[in-house]
Amino acid sequence: MKIGIIGAGHIGGTLVRRLRALGHDVTVANSRGPSTLSSLAAETGAHVATVRDAARGKDLVVVSIPVKAIPELPDALFDSDKTIVVDTGNYYPQQRDGRIDAIEAGTPESKWVEQQLGHPVIKAFNTIYAQHLMENGRPAGDPRRVALPVAGDSPDAKKKVIDLIDQLGFDAVDAGDLSESWRQQPGTPVYGADLTANEVRRALADADQERRVDFRADSRASGGESVRRPARPDAPSAGGP
């Protein structure tokens, strides 16, 4: 599979390493430019590119950058409606992202990301620590195999992401439509927990839609400023660990 990865941090860099080890054709980009990724390319054999080139001509693109940086990505980033886009991000208003009004008002984080990108997304890989993603894969059928929730509106796209997760050594649990992806956001029972598939299903069912205080913005987060993107004619209207 031809895969683009935008962001080479904890989760993005780990996925570059794991997916290259599986033989996928991986291109990686970050905000600082291809020259800063030479060591990762030498280690893994991944291609390096600009953000726009990493998203072009790919079967699947992983977006693994801070939520606050999503509006800074180029417009019309994806060149095909068939490109599967995976959002691994988590909203950390107090620690990193500042206040995003729509998310604070209840829009699921990945739904907001989808609106900014103007392209459907699948939410996955946001509940697992990078080290565990690197080291804890197990064969199918192993009773200790960790499961990851996957939310999105396209059954076909979800199936391909679920198959990829299986290749990486993890079970996957269909967590419903993207509107239900709040069930796997920070502060929910599945977040940061290494659970089996049955345990993930129970954790998703037990999730509370009200955000925990430590994952909500407050006056210390950003001085009252909000992160906004100007309206775009081609985008829907705005609403690891």
Are the CB atoms for 192 and 149 separated by under 8 Å? Answer: no
How many structural domains are present in the chain? Answer: 1
Q: What is the rounded CA–CA span in Å between residue 203 and residue 224?
A: 33
Domain holding 189: CATH number? 3.40.50.720
Q: Is residue 22 part of a domain?
A: yes
Domain range for 196 is: 2-219
Helix (H, G, I), strand (E, B) or coil at 69: helix
pLDDT digits (tens, 9 = 90+) for 189-217: 999 999 999 999 999 999 999 999 999 99
Q: What is the mean pLDDT of each run of 10 residues along the chain (241 residues)?
A: 98 98 98 95 98 98 98 96 97 96 97 98 98 98 97 98 98 98 98 98 97 84 42 30 62
Structure tokens at 140: 């199918």
**pLDDT of res. 236:** 25
Q: Where are the alpha helices (DSSP H) in the chain?
A: 10-21, 38-44, 51-55, 101-104, 109-117, 130-135, 155-167, 197-206, 219-222
Q: Is residue 126 part of a domain?
A: yes
pLDDT digits (tens, 9 = 90+) for 53-81: 999 999 999 999 999 999 999 999 999 99
Q: Is residue 232 part of a domain?
A: no
- At position 152, the amino acid (one-letter code) is G
Q: Is residue 233 part of a domain?
A: no
**pLDDT of res. 241:** 62
Q: What is the 3-state secondary structure (H, E, C) of 120-144?
A: CCEECCCCCCHHHHHHCCCCCCCCC
Please provide the distance, in angstroms rounded to a whole number, between the alpha carbons at the two ends of the chain.
Answer: 26
**pLDDT of res. 33:** 93
**pLDDT of res. 227:** 44
Q: Is residue 48 part of a domain?
A: yes
Q: Is residue 237 part of a domain?
A: no
**pLDDT of res. 218:** 79
Q: Is residue 234 part of a domain?
A: no
Q: Is residue 130 part of a domain?
A: yes
Are the CB atoms for 146 and 132 separated by under 8 Å? Answer: yes
Helix (H, G, I), strand (E, B) or coil at 164: helix
**pLDDT of res. 232:** 31
| Length of the chain (residues) | 241
Cα-based distances in Å from 190 to 68, 121, 127, 144, 148: 23, 20, 7, 16, 9
